[in-house]
A and B are shown apart, each in its own frame.
Chain A
Amino acid sequence: MKRRVVITDVGIVTPNAASFEAFGKALNAGKSGLSEIDCFDAASLPVRIAGQVNRIDITGLTRKYPALRTTDDRKVFIGLTAFLQLRDQFSNSFTPLDLGTSLEQFAIDKAFERSPGHFDLDAYMAAKRPETTYLETPLDFLGNIIKATFSIGGPNYLNCSACTASTQAIGHAFHMIRDGRYDRVIAGGFDSMLHPLGIGGFSRLGALCTDNDLKASAIRPFDIRRDGTVLGEGAAMLALESLDHALKENSPILGEILGYASTFDAFKISEPDRSGQGIAAAMRGALNDAGITPEAIDYINAHGTGTIANDRAETMAIKDVFGKKAYRIPVSSTKSMIGHLIGASGAVEIAAVLAMFRNDFIAPTINLEKKDPECDLDYVPLKARKYKINVSIKNSMGFGGQNAVVVLKRYVPHPRE
């Protein structure tokens, strides 16, 4: 018999909240975390709006954890801040880490500090001092720091499946626990694209909203006026346990994972299959893995990036899987409030569903004033809705055509549990 898998703790940092409790309140209030970028000088960039995490204590963290001296990558500090919020840092335990993120940050300013004017490789290397930070911090750095600092044994998995990375990490962790490989895994995601090459590179792709005057309403998933997504940064670390282990440890249970699946679009790397068949297959696979039918789903946390192609493809996929019932299922985009957290988006949005379970509401899709006629589902526009979600799916769709879907269920204790 398959083991049941539950989520027992969440550490989270997002553009609109700095704790799980605050995140729930922010989502319920429809609070946007988007603002003008001020963590670096973005004044001349075509895109100057993002979901930025404020008050990350980089100096304090570096003082406390000297191993961080070799990096100034924001996502490492954001990820560590989320991890430190967990009730238990699992010191001296065997607890695998399974984290998702997107890509290495190239510290372009560092390149010129060490080689002023024209970048010269040998000049850069000659100026390099042992105490200076990496030009590029490796993606598994955070996991290694956490495991070494807290003497945590077990694997350090780093999933790098672009925007589906942390959904994949959580799905992979779920399967590992369900299959009996481990009793407990810390899974989640961390990411930040808020650096010159991150914002600059994505704006060159044409994927971002460039109307900076829109400020907090720059991202408008499913709205007829939407013209791109907004990047954000953040992290969520989830403690996943087998139900038996959680009950034995008296861990508070925030929700249960029922199923997971991933697919490829095999279409294009830069846009989703417009028919939505890739994400539809992932939804079907996750429902099948959960052993439930589409009838059981009463909320969908959409990938909902606010790009023309993505929102339409996802809408088509939902209609394909759920048929007429699609029009009766509330669907909302957490990204409308925090932006697109790329590799961290899945984990943060799974945490959003847990917050909705906890507080009996559905978070809204803010900034949605007039629906795209091709996006004609119930997207919970503008305001949160009081609702007791029972079973939800969380969709993630990534650059490169990767899709990942997790099925989540409100945890209702059995009388004997």
Chain B
Amino acid sequence: MNETRVVITGASAVCSLGYRLDHIVENLLGRKTHFSPVPFKSRFFRDRRVARVPDGYPRSTNRTLRFMSDETRFAVAACLDCIEDAGLRNAYPPEEIDLFAGTGCSGLHLESIANLLEHSASPDTGMFDPGAFGETAIYKLNPLMSFQILPNMPAAMCAVTAGIRGRNLVFNPWEGNALQTLFEACLEIRAGRSKLVLCGGSDCKTHSNAFITFYEYGLLQESEVVLSEGSAYLAVESREFAERRKHDYYCTIRHMHHLSYTGTYPGHHPGTFQEEMIKTALAESGLAPGDIDLVISSSDHTPNADMIEKKALSLFFTCPVLAPKQVIGNAYAAAGMIHVAIATHILKENCRVDGNPVRRIFITSFAPGSEKFCIILEK
């Protein structure tokens, strides 16, 4: 999809490197990592590091938010910051602000149901006891637990907190599905159904249940992946309307190339579609590899996939390659959006990478899940 009429007019991110994009980019370019030990007791997992959002990120005063999951709090922080960055207060009626989001929100945090689990076992057999569960354990459950684990909650709380009443779309659970919302936003704007879409991704994979789940999916055994958390939001707007309200835009979405690659779950894709995707994205955008000044790669510390991606990128590009997941960990549903937010900031602030100016950035998203993307942003 070649779409120069769609521009990004605001961006924000909350991740392990901070909660302001200038700090995040500065730390990223300085290769500063903020990995810490897992926040739960375990000796089972080989790599027991996580990348957590530092305390102090801006929190809404909304009372309900206090009872929500970390993922939802990250999403609200990023979304509100994006709204400020894009100057959206009073720029559009609430009904004309759309919100498309990708969420990870993967199930229960075991720490949050420890009390319930403790009262659910039969004292005789140690197995799950439905009687004890119904008579005692269930009353140890926070009534709002259902809201903590519903995957639409990050987007819903953004809407409640920011007063957004427009159209909406929520995909789950991978990086590619979150980036699908950016793709859909571009198409909706082109179709004339949307003027402005707040597009985001959020996730929290630093809890024990995420480790269990990812181990069961086969995503932890072979990789050096550091599970992470965070969120990023972008204000994706029709250029016409951005210009009409006299708001600067940071970059255009020059091109998004999408491929659905089935059979990739669980584990990683063995193929060489990465090379084909890069080639097609460049051809469709009418750009040559030399027109790209910076690549932000998907590489997520999975040896096989990283090797294939590195080889594919080296066939085309000689420019610097940033691999943010090596520094901020992999926040899955948030990761791709964080990469795009970083790219947007680099273009907006005229950041130099390895001493060179950056005008076009090529972003790859080849992570687990069926949906893969190559995105080209242009200043």
Inter-chain CA distance A112–B124, complex, in Å, is: 13
- A34 sits at the interface (CB 8 A): no
Contact of A119 among B117, B132, B162, B370 (CB under 8 A): B117
Chain B's closest residue to A132 (CB) is: B216
Q: Are A160 and B152 in contact, CB atoms less than 8 angstroms apart? A: yes
Chain A's closest residue to B138 (CB) is: A200
Chain A residues whose C-beta falls within 8 Å of the C-beta of B262 in the assembled complex = 144, 147-148, 152-153, 156
- A293 sits at the interface (CB 8 A): no
- A322 sits at the interface (CB 8 A): no
For this complex, into which size category does the number of interface residues on chain B fall? 35 or more
Q: Are A196 and B133 in contact, CB atoms less than 8 angstroms apart? A: yes
Inter-chain CA distance A206–B170, complex, in Å, is: 26
Chain B's closest residue to A281 (CB) is: B95
Interface 1/0 per residue, A50-71 and B, CB below 8 Å: 0000000000000000000010
Q: Are B213 and A134 in contact, CB atoms less than 8 angstroms apart? A: yes
Contact of B120 among A108, A154, A267, A401 (CB under 8 A): A108
Chain B residues whose C-beta falls within 8 Å of the C-beta of A109 in the assembled complex = 127-128
Chain A residues whose C-beta falls within 8 Å of the C-beta of B147 in the assembled complex = 269-270, 399-400
Q: What is the CB-to-nearest-CB distance from B216 to chain A, in angstroms, rounded to a whole number?
A: 5
- B99 sits at the interface (CB 8 A): yes
Given contacts A104-B107, A126-B44, A269-B64, contact A43 B150 (CB under 8 A): no
- B241 sits at the interface (CB 8 A): no
Interface size on A, residues (CB 8 A): 83
Chain B residues whose C-beta falls within 8 Å of the C-beta of A401 in the assembled complex = 156, 159-160
- B182 sits at the interface (CB 8 A): no
- B283 sits at the interface (CB 8 A): no
Chain B residues whose C-beta falls within 8 Å of the C-beta of A96 in the assembled complex = 260
Q: What is the CB-to-nearest-CB distance from B188 to chain A, in angstroms, rounded to a whole number?
A: 8
Given contacts A119-B110, A139-B151, A402-B168, contact A42 B134 (CB under 8 A): yes
Q: What is the CB-to-nearest-CB distance from A297 to chain B, in angstroms, rounded to a whole number?
A: 21
Q: What is the CB-to-nearest-CB distance from A42 to chain B, in angstroms, rounded to a whole number?
A: 7
- B375 sits at the interface (CB 8 A): no
Interface 1/0 per residue, A369-396 and B, CB below 8 Å: 0000000000000000000000000000
Q: Are A156 and B44 in contact, CB atoms less than 8 angstroms apart? A: no
Interface 1/0 per residue, B171-188 and A, CB below 8 Å: 111100100100010010
Inter-chain CA distance A139–B263, complex, in Å, is: 15
Q: Are B213 and A135 in contact, CB atoms less than 8 angstroms apart? A: yes
Chain B's closest residue to A154 (CB) is: B260
Inter-chain CA distance A111–B110, complex, in Å, is: 10
Interface 1/0 per residue, A122-154 and B, CB below 8 Å: 101110100000111011110110011000111
Inter-chain CA distance A205–B177, complex, in Å, is: 30
Q: What is the CB-to-nearest-CB distance from B122 to chain A, in angstroms, rounded to a whole number?
A: 8
Chain A's closest residue to B118 (CB) is: A118
Interface 1/0 per residue, B141-166 and A, CB below 8 Å: 11111110111110111011011111
- Among A18-26, A214-222, A232-240, A257-265, the stretch that binds chain B is A257-265
- A157 sits at the interface (CB 8 A): yes
Chain B residues whose C-beta falls within 8 Å of the C-beta of A108 in the assembled complex = 117, 120, 128, 133
- A247 sits at the interface (CB 8 A): no
- A162 sits at the interface (CB 8 A): yes
Q: Are A45 and B120 in contact, CB atoms less than 8 angstroms apart? A: no
Q: Other than A200-B141, A269-B157, give 14 A-B pairs with Cβ distance below 8 A.
A: A40-B130, A46-B134, A103-B151, A117-B121, A134-B213, A155-B180, A161-B170, A179-B187, A201-B146, A204-B143, A204-B146, A264-B166, A268-B160, A401-B160
Some 14 contacts from A to B, beta carbons below 8 A apart, are: A96-B260, A111-B128, A112-B121, A136-B108, A144-B263, A155-B370, A160-B151, A175-B191, A200-B134, A200-B138, A265-B159, A266-B163, A402-B156, A402-B170
Listed in ascending order, the chain A residues whose CB lies under 8 Å from chain B are: 40-46, 70, 96, 102-104, 106, 108-109, 111-113, 116-119, 121-122, 124-126, 128, 134-136, 138-141, 143-144, 147-148, 152-162, 165, 168, 172, 175, 179, 181, 196-197, 200-206, 261-270, 278, 281, 285, 398-402
> What 3 A-B pairs have minimum CB-CB distances, sorted nearest first?
A400-B156, A44-B134, A116-B126
Listed in ascending order, the chain B residues whose CB lies under 8 Å from chain A are: 40-45, 64, 94-95, 99, 103, 105-108, 110, 114, 117-118, 120-121, 125-128, 130-135, 138-139, 141-147, 149-153, 155-157, 159-160, 162-174, 177, 180, 184, 187, 191, 193, 208-209, 211-213, 215-217, 258, 260, 262-263, 265, 369-371
